[in-house]
Amino acid sequence: MKMIIAYTAMLLAVTAIALGVSTAKDDPGESINLSSSSTPLAQSSSLVELVDFVREARDYARDADREMACKEFDNKTGRFVRGDLYIYAYDFQGTNVAHPFRPDFIGKNKANLTDPNGVALIKDLADCSKRGEDFTYFIFPNPDHADKDELKVGYTANVDDNWWVGSGVYLSDVPAFFQSESRDNLVAFVDEAAKYAEENGREKSLQAFNDKNGSFVSGNLYIFAYDFNGTTLSLPYQPELLGSNRMDAKDSNGIAFVRNCIDQAKRGEGYLYYIYPNPSRNMEDDLKLSYVRGIDNDWCVGAGIYASESNTTNATSPTYLGEIGSS
């Protein structure tokens, strides 16, 4: 009983952290079923430490000049490296201006850098910073684990209109490497839905996407859709949410996944991670890799594949970024 109470308290604390970062409130029925999650979560204390760490670095950068701040962020033995927590910094054009473990990044534009699953991590982190501060997921080498590629909860904050700082907590026990064939099939599925929407218009398309017995629902693979204001347009396994605004809906690690979906769609297309109920596992929470495409510059369609049903073992060696200092 004590373990159950402790576990529940941890989950509530994580949710409280996420809500504390943003002033927006979710609807009472909006949150994901945290108690059924089979996906390992970041410790609530780790998320608190992460947020405090990034805010400390942001405040330091605002008080010091940029050159001095970046010099301190580059220092492996300095105040902004604490175990696997460390500060990196970029300008809003995507150029790295500080990184204690990737000196080969400094001064180079990494805006188009993607992780092994195609997630555009620098663009995602920058989008979080443009909100002031926020969370996202990506895969990156862990310096505490011999630079092994691991899933990470990233948190960023803008210093000013020109640059931002970030750090992250590694989810070392969460397999997150999806096979290229699975990702290709996912993209093809979403592309088919996007083509259908472009040829048939929004109303007819949404009827098709919301039909659980139609061609756009195949087991746990289904089309979801949102307008750019966050209104739910298609969600075949959760029809009660149709018409509701989910812009500030968050997963159990505090990631605003609908907002992140819309950010991807505004760029045209993109991948992202989040934890979400899996229809094939009785709506238990599961890590999901989704692919999203924008339609008519005001709404988007997407779909996702779940880690529990994919071969997510890390078979890549060495790290996808190669050795430090290599070109």
Q: What is the DSSP string of 195-214?
A: HHHHHH-HHHHHHHHT-TTS
Task: Give the chain's mean pLDDT.
Answer: 87
Cβ 103 vs Cβ 112: under 8 Å: no
Classify residue 108 by its DSSP letter.
Answer: S
Predicted local distance difference test score (pLDDT) of residue 35: 33
**Could you tell me what percent of the chain has a pLDDT over 90?**
75
Residue 19 lies in a domain: no
Report in angstroms the alpha-carbon separations of 35 from 14, 85, 100. 12, 28, 38
Spatial CA neighbour of 204 closest among 238, 229, 230, 233 = 233
pLDDT in tens, 271-322: 999 999 999 999 999 999 999 999 999 999 999 999 988 876 654 546 788 7
- CA dist 305 and 189 (Å) reads 11
Residue 100 lies in a domain: yes
Spatial CA neighbour of 210 closest among 232, 187, 183, 186 = 232
Residue 147 lies in a domain: yes
Tell me whether residue 241 is exposed, middle or buried, using C-beta atoms within 10 angstroms of its C-beta: 0 to 12, 13 to 18, 19 or more.
Answer: middle
Give a three-class secondary structure readout of 29-85: CCCCCHHHCCCCCCCHHHHHHHHHHHHHHHHHHHHCCHHHHHHHHHCCCCCCEECCE
Cβ 142 vs Cβ 133: under 8 Å: no
Residue 175 lies in a domain: no
What pTM did the predictor assign? 0.85
Q: What's the mean pLDDT in 138-152?
A: 92
Residue 233 lies in a domain: no
Report in angstroms the alpha-carbon separations of 64 from 95, 129, 261. 20, 19, 35
Residue 154 lies in a domain: yes
Residue 52 lies in a domain: yes
194's enclosing H/E stretch is: helix 180-200
The per-residue b/e assignment along 117-141, b for 16 or more CB within 10 angstroms, e otherwise, is bebbbbbbbbbbbeeebbbbbbbbb
Per DSSP, the three-state class of 120 is coil
Residue with more model confidence, 310 or 112: 112
pLDDT at 84 over 80: yes
Predicted local distance difference test score (pLDDT) of residue 312: 65
- CA dist 127 and 319 (Å) reads 25
User: In total, how many domains does the chain have?
Assistant: 1
Residue 83 lies in a domain: yes
pLDDT in tens, 11-65: 344 344 443 443 333 332 343 333 334 455 667 779 999 999 999 999 999 999 9
Note down the domain range covering 55. Answer: 41-170
- Residues 283, 284, 285, 289, CA torsion sign: negative
Lowest mean pLDDT, pick from 51-60, 143-152, 198-207, 250-259 = 143-152
* Tokens found for residue 317: 């060696």
- The CATH number that applies at residue 68 is 3.30.450.20
